[in-house]
Amino acid sequence: MAGFISSSLRPGSPSFLDLPWALPVGQWVGQCAYLEPLPIGLTRHPVVFIHYQEALYALKELPPGLAEKEYQLLRQMKEQHLPTVDPIGHVQVKTAQGEASILITRYLEYSMPYQALFASPDRDRHRDLLLDAMASLLVQLHLAGVYWGDCSLSNTLFRRDAGTLQAYLVDAETSEIHPTLSESLRSYELDVMEENVCGALADLMASGLIPASYPVIETGAYIRERYERLWAEINREEVLDAQQPYRVQERIRALNQLGFSVDEVVLQRTPDGDKLRMRAVVTDRHFHRELLHSLTGVDAEDRQAEQIMNEIQELRARLMQQQNRSMPVSVAAWRWLQELYQPSLERLKPWRPEDTHPTQLYCQMLEHKWFLSEKAQQDVGHETSALDYIETVLKSVSGARDLNVIPIEGTP
Ligand SMILES: Nc1ncnc2c1ncn2[C@@H]1O[C@H](COP(=O)(O)OP(=O)(O)OP(=O)(O)O)[C@@H](O)[C@H]1O
Ligand SMILES: [Mg+2]
């Protein structure tokens, strides 16, 4: 009999039993009340999005066995805090076309496929950010021993992160996880990336989405260059004198500044005996977001969190100066949450574009505040900035949406 055969799902997930499993996913339109038409990148396999019990999910139909394989790979990557889509489970089904397996992932909210970035009026600014985001994603995967196997723009999703972009791996079908990645696999992955990026951009050019002058061939090489620079910085070994222990802290701080959390610092005496060789072992690129989350409970991408942590440190310095006493950062973080973050978001809430995460909106408002303060030659404050941001940016974005126009990112 056609239909559901078996499933394996993460605890706390819905059972998804009332989906039309007897039909191939490609035939669900008109047959499944939960379907959500959301922007989608290029797909080889049928992919649908559903709105099911308050959450959004992506379902991808694959040949038997492959959904479980991809699910297991994504789970291992998630355990290592890598930026990937969140695996929920896999389902085995039988349809009129035979057996198939379905991978279920949480829909990556506030994300955009690369086509949406290139179609946006901000394309030129996005280009640079996209190169950094791709390079950073590859570095994070390779540090964790992950060989992606099919690194391409269509297998990546992008999320706005303060003034930058974060790239997420969406397709792990061909990935492999090694204890450490060999030089040759890293290099091969970069070759594949260059070829795939070039192909995707050539398609965009053919469809008129980017101008004929766009550096189609060079873009992959730019990503590689940024990757190599970041990789070298992270894996750099330093030699120090035994009398310079402060240099260990300096190195940790420099890596934290780049967003990387340091798990271990390995020191080894040099053969001649009077120097130390230092190597830092980094885990993930979540340093700022973990710090912010532990202090305030606020969820953010890493760059957003870095910007907010700077704001918390400024607030702390100001309060310490006013009160002429020291203050733990946790107290400043609590005051920031109560006095700045929550009231600002409360003001902005009715005008928040659907595709913008609240923390992103807050960071955009902060940028607006800097812009206004610079013009006024003094700090104009959060309240004034939020109101001005609503008047000059958010109202026109929601007006544009009413006219069915793609909203422009709301920074001045
Ligand atoms: N969890 C998700 N959240 C948001 N979008 C998703 C998600 N999963 C898939 N997508 C969208 O579906 C597109 C296709 O997904 P994916 O790359 O996994 O399938 P595929 O291309 O058919 O597989 P493959 O590349 O292995 O042949 C993605 O580019 C993305 O736009
Ligand atoms: Mg794909």
Task: Report pTM.
Answer: 0.88
- Whether residue 226 is contained in a domain is answered as yes
- The domain total for the chain is 4
Query: How buried is 117 (Cβ within 10 angstroms: 0-12 exposed, 13-18 middle, 19+ buried)?
Result: buried
For residue 408, is it within any domain? no
Q: How far is the CA of 153 from the centre of ligand 2 (A)?
A: 9
Mean pLDDT within 171-190 = 96
Please report the atom of ligand 1 found closest to the CA of residue 57: 1
Q: Do 58 and 144 have their domain in common?
A: no
Torsion of CA 117, 118, 120, 123, to 10 degrees: 100
CB-proximal residues (5 Å) to ion ligand 2: 155, 171
Give the list of residues 6+ apart from residue 218 with CB closer than 8 angstroms, or none: none
Ligand 2: centre distance to CA 50 (Å): 18
Q: Are residue 278 and residue 294 in the same domain, yes or no?
A: no
Report CA(19)–ligand 1 centroid distance (Å).
20
Digit-coded pLDDT (tens) for 308-331: 999 999 999 999 999 999 999 999
339 and 365 part of one domain: yes
CA 159 to centroid of ligand 2, rounded, Å: 17
Q: How many CB atoms lie within 10 A of CB 122?
A: 12
pLDDT digits (tens, 9 = 90+) for 89-134: 999 999 999 999 999 999 999 999 998 888 877 778 888 899 999 9
Q: Are the CB atoms for 130 and 95 separated by under 8 Å?
A: no
Q: Please tell me whether residues 187 and 139 are part of one structural domain.
A: yes
Domain co-membership, 370 together with 264: no
In a domain, 412, yes or no: no
Same domain, 135 and 192: yes
DSSP result, 140-151:
HHHHTTEE-SS-
- On whether the CB atoms of residues 268 and 239 are closer than 8 A, the answer is no
State how far the Cα of 411 lies from the Cα of 409, in Å rounded to an integer.
Answer: 6
Are 261 and 172 part of one and the same domain?
A: no
User: Do 220 and 118 share a structural domain?
Assistant: yes
Q: What percent of the chain has pLDDT over 70?
A: 96
| C-alpha closest to that of 258 among 365, 139, 126 | 139
Residue of 35, 40, 66 to mutate, ligand 1, most atoms within 8 A of C-beta: 40
Contact 320, 331 (CB under 8 A): no
Q: State the sign of the Cα–Cα–Cα–Cα dihedral 143, 144, 145, 150.
A: negative
Which residues are near ligand 1 (CB < 6 Å)? Answer: 40-41, 43-45, 47, 58, 60, 85, 105-108, 111, 113, 154-155, 157, 170-171, 173
Judged by DSSP in three states, 2 sits in coil
CATH number of the domain encompassing residue 124: 1.10.510.10
Domain extent, residue 41, equals 3-106
Do both 178 and 261 map to the same domain? Answer: no
Domain presence at residue 411: no
In this predicted structure, what is the pLDDT of residue 405? Answer: 36
Q: Which of 265, 282, 299 is the last residue of a domain?
A: 282
258 CB-side CA count, 13 A: 23
> Of the candidates 214, 249, 282, which is a domain's last residue?
282
Q: Can you give the length of the chain in residues? A: 412
**CATH code for the domain in which residue 14 is found:** 3.30.200.20
